[in-house]
Structure 1
Amino acid sequence: MTQPQVPFDDRGLAYGDGVFETVLLREGKPVLWSYHLARLRRGCQRLGIPVPCQEALDATWQGIAETPLEVLKLIVTRGSGGRGYALPESPMPRLLSRRTPFVPATARWQKGVTVRLCRLRLGHQPALAGIKHLNRLENVLARGEWQSADIAEGLLADMHGELVEATSMNVFWQRQGRIYTPRLDKCGVAGTLRDALIEQGIVREATLPVAALPTLERLWVANSVQGVWPVITLVCHTGTQKQTWPLEPVDDFQVAAHRLLGYAAQ
């Protein structure tokens, strides 16, 4: 397959001026497609980028599936033009896409994972909060804090010490039998699985200081591609163990989330 060539003056390449989506395809059909479209449109509207037409977006996943599960990555940039940071008068967005075979990490569903608290703190920018824009340097720096394969994810807090997200997943916790996820009105990415779980009333938004993590009944990281990973061990950025949680024989939250993604109960 011929790879698309991005011009040197593309604003997504130069400035991170655009948005992207990472979509699970099951038998060639996009999972949670309406949620991905809604977030992409929110992101484009927030940045003032014309939204690609529905026909063009649908064309990115239509065709013969190579494997039962694939991941579709969509990128929408503002295109080329404008002088420096100045916006082009008539932007011509550029839509890029790629499909790749995918196999979920089912062992992490079943055995749980270890996560670490990242040293990096997220800055507040409400104008960009929630959308999946192309400038993900904070997440890149946070992910660079560890190399051990034993660490599955890193948890990120903001400058005030409030839990926000993981480097590439959303965070969920249980307290007094209820499931919560951080509010994302100042920073962070609102995942599509997160949106679906909130809409169904399974999850509520709340704030949580990272200092309170050891007091939680359960903790999970999840996204719409990998599914739900139960957290069994939390370590500090120094590698010191901070908290452990038992792995439940039946994880009702995971079952509910995986039902939305079409993953069988494990």
Structure 2
Amino acid sequence: MSVRTSVDFVDADRVSVADRGFAYGDGLFETLRIAGGRVPLWPRHEARLRHGCERLHLPLPDMIAVLAEVRRLSGGIADGVARVTYSRGEGERGYAPPASPRPTVVVTVSPLALQAAPYDDGIAVRLCDTRLASQPLLAGLKHLNRLEQVMARAEWDDPALGEGLMLDMDDQVVCATAANLFAVFDGRLVTPPLDACGVAGVARAEILAVRDVALARMNLARLAEADEVFLTSAVRGILPVRVLASRSWQPGPVIRALQAHWRDIGLPLPAGSKDSHR
């Protein structure tokens, strides 16, 4: 099945070359997991989109209409992924934003096929050379300028590697290219703060809401001391990290409990995984 796309709630797959999202990365986006015709994490996506609009001084979209469009385009798809792209819309040449912006809403939906093995055994990750720059004004936002992540992801093409970890300019681990990072020390969950760089994921927000999590900076040496390490994203859920360089881990009780929580809120593990039917 081809990707289903709409622009401003009309079936289409083109935007204007004058759109500021295209020209400057002036906007936001959300990537949503669709499971069984539902979008279980939608309230968190909506909250982040609202927060991002406030931070970037964008008019708020009609959230009810956006969710309805996601559901319309996902009709008949049991397991899928949707992307909502929200830009400031068309503008004149130059950086100055229009006084009365007319934002553009693009929604795309496609089927999703996750493999069971990464959830059972974990994934191998590498350390990226590309660093995340500090910019507190944009920290946490899922804005349209993702060049740091693009450059980091271009560093490898080995299919045996599932992700790449990114450091900030102070050699602190921040996140993966497309996921947030958690570590477990003596049963205690820790995740890096995102006050200077990185994206505050909705899966991360879910874990922060249901578990006691410490926000703490950690370098690679500290990460190597963890008992469990995993990544989170709205689409892929809870992904155990199996190996980074010479350090290896096994999925432990914290990871398994959070995978069970994901299943309980309506985001099942892939068919064939050990815990998919528990």
TM-score tier (shorter): over 0.9
Q: Distance in 1 between matches of 2:219 and 2:265?
A: 29
Q: Which amino acid aligns with 1:219?
A: V
1:79 corresponds to which residue? 89
Q: Distance in 1 between matches of 2:115 and 2:189?
A: 23
1:239 corresponds to which residue? none
Q: Distance in 2 between matches of 1:263 and 1:179?
A: 22
Alignment of structure 1 residues 216-227 onto 2, 5 Å: 216-227=226-237
User: Aligned match of 1:34 in 43, 48, 57?
Assistant: 43
1:181 aligns with 2:188: no
Q: Distance in 1 between matches of 2:224 and 2:111?
A: 37
1:124 aligns with 2:129: no
Q: Distance in 2 between matches of 1:209 and 1:259?
A: 33
What's the CA shift string for 1:99-146, capped at 9, x where partnerless? 111122321001211001111110000111111000000000000111
2:268 corresponds to which residue? 263
What's the CA shift string for 1:209-258, capped at 9, x where partnerless? 123221111111121111111111102xxxxxx21113448822332344
2:248 corresponds to which residue? 244
Q: Secondary structure at the match of 1:251?
A: helix
Dislocated runs of 4+, deviation >6 Å: none
Q: Secondary structure at the match of 1:172?
A: strand
**255-264 or 155-164: bigger deviation:** 255-264
- Structure 1's unaligned 5+ residue stretches are 236-241
Answer whether contact 1:66 1:101 (CA < 8 A) is retained: no
TM (normalized to structure 1)? 0.92
Answer whether contact 1:28 1:61 (CA < 8 A) is retained: no
C-alpha distance 187-261 of structure 1, shift in aligned 2 (>3 A): farther
1:253 aligns with 2:262: no
Alignment of structure 1 residues 1-266 onto 2, 5 Å: 2-63=11-72, 65-235=75-245, 242-248=246-252, 251-264=256-269, 265-266=275-276
Answer whether contact 1:32 1:261 (CA < 8 A) is retained: no
Q: Give the share of equivalent positions with the same residue, in percent.
A: 38
Q: Distance in 2 between matches of 1:218 and 1:27?
A: 30
Q: Which amino acid aligns with 2:52?
A: G
What's the CA shift string for 1:129-170, capped at 9, x where partnerless? 111000000000000111100000000110001111100011
> 1:261: how far off?
4.6
C-alpha distance 68-81 of structure 1, shift in aligned 2 (>3 A): same
Q: Secondary structure at the match of 1:165?
A: strand
Answer whether contact 2:18 2:92 (CA < 8 A) is retained: no
Q: Distance in 1 between matches of 2:183 and 2:241?
A: 10
Q: Secondary structure at the match of 1:133?
A: coil
Q: Which amino acid aligns with 1:245?
A: W
Q: Distance in 2 between matches of 1:247 and 1:172?
A: 12
